[in-house]
């Protein structure tokens, strides 16, 4: 019967196929085992050799998990490092500052960029896990800006007014909630204030809450966005909008509000940030998992060397953040066991 | 040339293969069931400690409004308050409300469009066109919801906010334009009417609709100036006291309606096409118009299928995350105003889970939100299935009685 024959052929064909697969799999396993053995041998032998030059070890993936505000900065530093050390590849996961401590504690990364200080709770669980506290490296300075639409004439806001605008429970002691632009003593724009802000993972959110809301709660009315750029673009297209974002997300559609009591309000600038006049300044931090007395792997070390060098600080400047002075840089470099910079490498 | 195999051996082979296939399928089915059950159990065991512990939010806090410093009594979702001391203000109602409101607006847009399209394409449309349009709509369903959310949040939202009058005019003008064209078509001489056949209406209506959109955009500023002092938005805010947000339930409904529509269309169209041909032909032979055939014969028969199509669309709208996340502004409000923002259960989970510490009461609250979603979709799907089988049984009984 032709049908039967066909069926038998199919069955036999499958059988043969299966056998072949098995053989291939066994073969693959054997070869892989063998090559791993060889690899181990070679590596073991290499271990006895004296370490070669430092630059040769700067290789492989460089992982970093953390702040969204610092994402572009990290990427640019990564690019610069890849130029000088072609074997390096930066893998950045920038979902918000709160993700950095989690990743550092879990051990998935050694570097966690954060746009706020670690909370005592986060620091404690790191110390509990490793037996030593994380090392904080300041890489630059940033400011939290309050932005409004460019057609909005408002010049300055006090912290108390900000609290009355954004907060539900007014911890800073404002008299009444501010819901209309008219309550701020101006005719334009007519209507309610539309609030824009970040989601709770972000360091920007946490910092605004700590400084401007005195630790209070945001109103339910705040439109929540998962990125600072989205906040700025939303405020840019909404004449009634007000929002907060980091320094480097500014666009031409929004204008920055000076912060402080009328007459003493401070506009965020390089000057006011460096001498700590602006009330909502913050440090851009990179937390590192650095054992006391030990050192980071060469790739991480090279990255931080770049960050704390004049060329790394140039990138900080280019992206609109504020750079550190040479003594400040040297302070950080000493922590990491890096050679100090001379005064001739001055950064503007 | 392979030698012939005795019949019995091949037979045994087949039997064995059959048995294997049956076992695999059964195992798969049981596995899926167990997985669903396991998800439910995981959620319940995750949520329970919330109610058993003393320092967590109490049950009443989850469902009752609370006052803030101004004495304004509101339903609040403030997960920050879980850590800050004081009475936690975490009320799930705004999230439930937001979820249902978003789904409602999506369905308000999707149901008439999808059912209308299904009726038209199964009864009137030329088969050639229909075979082109169906894959296109299926492609639309395959579009990632992130893309839709992105368009809705970044392009549509700001535009609608600035051109509120234009938006409302366009929404009103599209159906009116179609009615107008239909009226005009009746007055046309026979030759042109024959050329503009109903079977190809989907194509020649496009320029007509584009025309009505242009007229609407042009006319909107006219009546906005006439009645609303040139700014509808300010008028609504001042005279009606309503908030007009850039990310609002209406835009969300538009975007999510587009996401839900192809699914409803495909299922409803299947249901309508499954109506036995002889029924329609019989009705038309007795002198029924096509409209009568549709409403009196096809719809009653296809009702179970259409109902389940709508329910499955509702389930999708409730569970949708990315579109809501990007187009709604995520403001946990309880307002019936369609121009206000909202926050759904699903998008709350997506936003807040990354920073909720495992085992904290915030984490458990989010699990509770997930449980609520799970129960809701479960109930909706079960309801769809039950109603569908009931309707089908009734139909069969009716038919056998005749």
Mean per-residue pLDDT for A87-100? 86
- Chain pair A-B, CB pairs under 8 angstroms: 107
Q: Which of B157, B235, B328, B329 to mutate to test the interface with A (most CBs of A within 10 A)?
A: B329
Question: Would you call B342 helix, strand, or coil by DSSP?
Answer: strand
Provide the pairing of β-strand A281-288 with A135-149: antiparallel
Least CB–CB distance from B7: residue in A4, A217, A218: A4
Least CB–CB distance from B161: residue in A5, A8, A238: A238
Confidence of residue B326 (pLDDT cuts 50, 70, 90): confident
Alpha carbon of B234: minimum distance to chain A alpha carbons (Å): 7
Alpha carbon of A2: minimum distance to chain B alpha carbons (Å): 8
Instruction: Answer whether A224 sits within 8 Å of B77, measured CB to CB.
Output: no
With CA atoms as reference, the chain B residue closest to A219 would be B78
Instruction: Answer whether A217 sits within 8 Å of B89, measured CB to CB.
Output: yes
CA distance A67 to B145: 26
Counting DSSP H helices and E strands in chain B, the numbers are 17, 2
Asked if B215 and B147 count as a contact pair (C-beta separation under 8 A), the reply is no
Least CB–CB distance from B355: residue in A98, A169, A217: A98
Which residues on chain B are in Cβ contact (under 8 Å) with A222? 331
Chain A interface includes B246 (CB < 8 A): yes
Instruction: Please say if the pLDDT value at position A348 is more than 60.
Output: no
Of the candidates A260, A257, A263, the one whose C-alpha atom is nearest the C-alpha of residue A242 is: A257
Which residues on chain A are in Cβ contact (under 8 Å) with B337? none
Confidence of residue A279 (pLDDT cuts 50, 70, 90): confident
Cα Rg of chain B (Å, integer): 27
CA distance A112 to A296: 13
Q: Taking each helix axis from N to C terminus, what angle separates A326-336 and A298-307, rounded to the nearest 10 degrees?
A: 170
Instruction: Answer whether A200 sits within 8 Å of B80, measured CB to CB.
Output: yes
ipTM associated with this complex: 0.72
With CA atoms as reference, the chain A residue closest to B340 would be A221
Confidence of residue A9 (pLDDT cuts 50, 70, 90): very low
Chain A interface includes B351 (CB < 8 A): yes
Chain A interface includes B232 (CB < 8 A): no
Location of structure tokens 């004439």: A153
**Each residue's pLDDT tens digit, A133-185:** 999 999 988 888 999 999 999 988 988 889 999 988 888 877 788 888 888 88
Question: Would you call B90 helix, strand, or coil by DSSP?
Answer: strand
Q: Taking each helix axis from N to C terminus, what angle separates B127-142 and B93-123, rounded to the nearest 10 degrees?
A: 160
Six-digit token string for B336 = 């019936």
Lowest pLDDT segment from A249-263, B6-20, B40-54, B229-243: B229-243
Alpha carbon of B155: minimum distance to chain A alpha carbons (Å): 10
CA distance A214 to B284: 75
Give buried/exposed letters for A15-33 (b at 16+ CB in 10 A, else e). Answer: eeeeeeeeeeeeeeeeeee
CA distance B40 to A182: 51
Of the candidates B85, B90, B58, B59, the one whose C-alpha atom is nearest the C-alpha of residue B74 is: B90
- Position B85 scores a pLDDT of 60
Helix (H), strand (E), coil (C) string for B65-76: CEECCCCCEECC
Query: Residues of A at the B interface (Cβ-Cβ below 8 Å)?
Result: 1, 4-5, 7-9, 11-12, 95-96, 98-99, 168-170, 176-177, 190-192, 194, 199-201, 209, 215, 217-218, 220-226, 230, 233-234, 237-238, 241
Asked if A196 and A234 count as a contact pair (C-beta separation under 8 A), the reply is yes
Asked if A184 and A157 count as a contact pair (C-beta separation under 8 A), the reply is yes
Instruction: Answer whether B354 sits within 8 Å of A99, measured CB to CB.
Output: yes
Q: Which of B246, B251, B321, B340 to mutate to test the interface with A (most CBs of A within 10 A)?
A: B246
Instruction: Please say if the pLDDT value at position B210 is more than 80.
Output: yes
Asked if A192 and B237 count as a contact pair (C-beta separation under 8 A), the reply is yes
- Position A39 scores a pLDDT of 54
- Looking at per-residue pLDDT, the higher value among A75 and B82 belongs to A75
Q: What values do phi and psi take at B369, rounded to 5? A: -60, -40
Q: Which of A70-79, A178-187, B43-52 has the highest mean pLDDT?
A: A70-79
**Each residue's pLDDT tens digit, B88-142:** 778 888 899 999 999 999 999 999 999 999 998 888 888 888 888 888 888 888 8
Chain A interface includes B68 (CB < 8 A): yes
Which residues on chain B are in Cβ contact (under 8 Å) with A177? 70
- Position B54 scores a pLDDT of 67
- Position B31 scores a pLDDT of 95
Name the β-bridge partners of A225: A198
Instruction: Please say if the pLDDT value at position A346 is more than 60.
Output: no
- Position B12 scores a pLDDT of 86
Give buried/exposed letters for B59-69 (b at 16+ CB in 10 A, else e). Answer: eebbeeebebe
Least CB–CB distance from B351: residue in A7, A176, A199: A199
Alpha carbon of A153: minimum distance to chain B alpha carbons (Å): 18
- Position A53 scores a pLDDT of 43
Mean per-residue pLDDT for A235-251? 87
Instruction: Please say if the pLDDT value at position A26 is more than 50.
Output: no
- Looking at per-residue pLDDT, the higher value among B394 and A153 belongs to A153
Lowest pLDDT segment from A161-175, B230-244, B274-288: B230-244
CB neighbours (10 Å) of residue A276? Answer: 9
Mean per-residue pLDDT for B361-375? 89
Instruction: Answer whether B325 sits within 8 Å of A226, measured CB to CB.
Output: yes
Alpha carbon of B368: minimum distance to chain A alpha carbons (Å): 19
- Position B290 scores a pLDDT of 83
Confidence of residue B402 (pLDDT cuts 50, 70, 90): low
CA distance A191 to A316: 39
Per-window interface: B 247-286 vs A, CB < 8 A? 247
Of the candidates A135, A90, A97, the one whose C-alpha atom is nearest the C-alpha of residue A113 is: A97
Asked if A136 and A240 count as a contact pair (C-beta separation under 8 A), the reply is no
**Each residue's pLDDT tens digit, A35-57:** 555 555 555 544 444 444 444 56
CA distance A302 to A85: 9
Location of structure tokens 């009591």: A261
CB neighbours (10 Å) of residue A9? Answer: 12
Alpha carbon of A77: minimum distance to chain B alpha carbons (Å): 26
CA distance B5 to B7: 6
The fraction of chain B above a pLDDT of 70, given in percent, is 93
Mean per-residue pLDDT for B136-164? 83
DSSP state of B189: -
Q: Which of A122, A178, A197, A224 to mutate to test the interface with B (most CBs of B within 10 A)?
A: A224
With CA atoms as reference, the chain B residue closest to A225 would be B329
**Each residue's pLDDT tens digit, A313-329:** 999 988 888 888 888 88
Asked if B296 and B144 count as a contact pair (C-beta separation under 8 A), the reply is no
Spatial neighbors of B364 by CB under 8 A, at least 6 apart, are B46, B47, B49, B50, B56
Which residues on chain B are in Cβ contact (under 8 Å) with A1? 4, 7
Alpha carbon of B230: minimum distance to chain A alpha carbons (Å): 14
Q: Which of A96, A217, A219, A254 to mutate to test the interface with B (most CBs of B within 10 A)?
A: A217
Mean per-residue pLDDT for B62-87? 73
Mean per-residue pLDDT for A275-284? 85
Of the candidates A231, A242, A251, A133, the one whose C-alpha atom is nearest the C-alpha of residue A186 is: A242
CB neighbours (10 Å) of residue B154? Answer: 16
Of the candidates B362, B390, B391, the one whose C-alpha atom is nearest the C-alpha of residue B299 is: B391
Of the candidates A271, A259, A145, the one whose C-alpha atom is nearest the C-alpha of residue A204 is: A145
Instruction: Answer whether A98 sits within 8 Å of B234, measured CB to CB.
Output: no
With CA atoms as reference, the chain A residue closest to B7 would be A4
Alpha carbon of A200: minimum distance to chain B alpha carbons (Å): 7
Confidence of residue A218 (pLDDT cuts 50, 70, 90): confident
Instruction: Answer whether A238 sits within 8 Å of B352, measured CB to CB.
Output: no
Residue B273, exposed/middle/buried by CB under 10 A (0-12, 13-18, 19+)?
middle
The fraction of chain A above a pLDDT of 90, given in percent, is 18
Spatial neighbors of A31 by CB under 8 A, at least 6 apart, are none
The fraction of chain B above a pLDDT of 90, given in percent, is 15
The chain-wide mean pLDDT, for chain B, equals 84
Helix ranges (H only) for B64-163 are 93-123, 127-142, 145-151, 157-162
Q: What values do phi and psi take at A222, rounded to 5? A: -70, 125
Name the β-bridge partners of B386: none
Six-digit token string for A298 = 């060469």
Longest Cα separation, chain B? 93
Helix (H), strand (E), coil (C) string for chain A: CHHHHHHHHHHHHHHHHHHHHHHHHHHHHHHHHHHHHHHHHHHHHHHHCCCCCHHHHCCEEEEEECCCCCHHHHHHHHHHHHHHCCCEEEEEECCCCCHHHHHHHHCCCCEEEECCCCCHHHHHHHHHHHCCCCEEEEEEEEEEEEEEECCCCCCEECHHHHHHHHECCCCCCCCCCCCEHHHHCCCCCCCECEEEEECCCCHHHHHHHHHCCCCCCECCCCEEECCHHHHHHHHHHCCCEEEEEEHHHCCCCEEEEEECCCCCCECCCHHHHHCCCCCCEEEEEEEECCCCCCCCCHHHHHHHHHHCCHHHHHHHHHCCCECCCHHHHHHHHHHHCCCCCCHHHCCC
Which residues on chain B are in Cβ contact (under 8 Å) with A12? 2
Instruction: Answer whether B78 sits within 8 Å of A220, measured CB to CB.
Output: yes
A129-132 CB contacts, 8 Å cutoff, 24+ apart = A129/A105, A130/A289, A130/A291, A132/A291, A132/A292
Six-digit token string for A58 = 């700067």
The fraction of chain A above a pLDDT of 70, given in percent, is 82
Q: Which of B3, B67, B69, B321 to mutate to test the interface with A (most CBs of A within 10 A)?
A: B69
Q: How many CA atoms lie within 13 A of B170 on its CB side?
A: 14
Chain A interface includes B331 (CB < 8 A): yes
DSSP state of B124: T
CA distance A112 to B346: 29
Instruction: Answer whether B354 sits within 8 Å of A217, measured CB to CB.
Output: no
């Amino acid at each position: 019967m032709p049908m039967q024959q066909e069926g038998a052929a199919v069955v036999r064909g499958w059988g043969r196929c299966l056998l072949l697969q098995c053989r291939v799999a066994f073969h693959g396993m054997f070869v892989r085992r063998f090559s791993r053995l060889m690899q181990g041998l070679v590596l073991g032998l290499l271990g006895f050799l004296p370490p070669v030059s430092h630059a040769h070890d700067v290789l492989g993936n460089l992982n970093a998990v953390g702040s969204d505000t610092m994402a572009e900065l990290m990427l640019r530093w990564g690019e610069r490092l890849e130029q000088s050390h072609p074997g390096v590849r930066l893998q950045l996961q920038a979902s918000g500052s709160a993700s950095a401590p989690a990743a550092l504690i879990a051990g998935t990364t050694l570097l966690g960029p954060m746009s706020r200080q670690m909370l005592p709770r986060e620091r404690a669980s790191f110390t509990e896990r490793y037996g030593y506290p994380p090392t904080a490296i300041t890489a630059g300075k940033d400011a939290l800006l309050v932005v409004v639409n460019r057609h909005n004439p408002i010049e300055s806001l006090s912290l108390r007014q900000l609290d009355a605008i954004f907060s539900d429970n007014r911890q800073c002691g404002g008299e009444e909630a501010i819901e209309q632009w008219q309550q701020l003593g101006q005719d334009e724009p007519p209507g309610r204030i539309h609030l824009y802000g970040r989601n709770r993972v972000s360091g920007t959110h946490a910092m605004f809450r700590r400084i401007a809301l005195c630790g209070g709660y945001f109103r339910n009315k705040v439109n929540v966005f998962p990125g600072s750029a989205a906040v700025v673009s939303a405020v840019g297209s909404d004449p009634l909008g007000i929002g907060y974002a980091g320094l480097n997300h500014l666009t031409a559609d929004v204008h920055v509000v000076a912060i402080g009591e009328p007459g003493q309000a401070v506009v965020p600038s390089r000057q006011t940030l460096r001498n700590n006049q602006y009330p909502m300044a913050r440090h851009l931090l990179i937390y590192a998992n650095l054992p006391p007395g030990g050192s980071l792997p060469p790739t991480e070390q090279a990255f931080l060397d770049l960050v704390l060098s004049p060329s790394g600080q140039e990138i900080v400047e280019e992206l609109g953040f504020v750079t550190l002075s040479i003594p400040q840089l040297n302070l950080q470099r000493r922590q990491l066991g890096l050679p100090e910079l001379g005064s001739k490498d001055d950064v503007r | 040339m392979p030698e012939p195999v005795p019949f019995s051996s091949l037979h045994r082979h087949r039997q064995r293969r059959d048995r294997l296939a049956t076992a695999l399928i059964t195992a798969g089915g049981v596995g899926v069931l167990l997985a669903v059950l396991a998800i439910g159990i995981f959620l319940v065991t995750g949520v329970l400690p919330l109610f058993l512990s003393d320092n967590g939010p109490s049950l009443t806090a989850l469902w009752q409004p609370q006052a803030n410093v101004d004495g304004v009594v509101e339903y609040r979702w403030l997960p920050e308050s879980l850590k800050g001391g004081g009475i936690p203000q975490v009320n799930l109602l705004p999230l439930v409300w937001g979820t249902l409101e978003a789904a409602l607006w999506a369905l308000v847009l999707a149901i008439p469009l999808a059912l209308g399209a299904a009726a038209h394409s199964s009864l009137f449309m030329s088969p050639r066109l229909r075979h082109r349009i169906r894959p296109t709509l299926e492609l639309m369903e395959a579009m990632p919801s992130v893309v839709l959310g992105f368009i809705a949040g970044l392009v549509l939202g700001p535009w609608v906010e600035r051109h509120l009058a234009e938006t409302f005019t366009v929404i009103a003008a599209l159906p009116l334009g179609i009615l107008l064209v239909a009226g005009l078509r009746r007055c046309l001489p026979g030759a042109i009417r024959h050329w503009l056949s109903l079977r190809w209406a989907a194509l020649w209506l496009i320029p007509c609709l584009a025309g009505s959109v242009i007229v609407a955009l042009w006319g909107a500023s006219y009546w906005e100036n006439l009645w609303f002092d040139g700014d509808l938005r300010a008028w609504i805010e001042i005279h009606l006291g309503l908030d007009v947000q850039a990310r609002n339930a209406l835009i969300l409904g538009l975007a999510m309606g587009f996401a839900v529509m192809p699914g409803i269309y495909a299922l409803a169209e299947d249901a309508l096409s499954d109506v036995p041909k002889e029924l329609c032909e019989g009705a038309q032979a007795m002198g029924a118009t096509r409209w009568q055939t549709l409403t009196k014969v096809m719809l009653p028969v296809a009702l179970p299928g259409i109902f389940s199509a709508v329910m499955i669309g509702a389930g999708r709208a409730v569970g949708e995350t990315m579109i809501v996340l990007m187009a709604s502004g995520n403001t946990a409000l309880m307002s019936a105003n369609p121009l206000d923002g909202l926050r759904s259960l699903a998008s709350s989970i997506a936003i807040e889970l990354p920073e909720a510490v495992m085992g904290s009461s915030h984490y458990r609250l989010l699990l509770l939100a997930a449980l609520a979603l799970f129960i809701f979709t479960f109930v909706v799907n079960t309801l769809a299935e039950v109603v569908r089988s009931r309707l089908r049984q009734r139909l069969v009984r009716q038919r056998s009685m005749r």
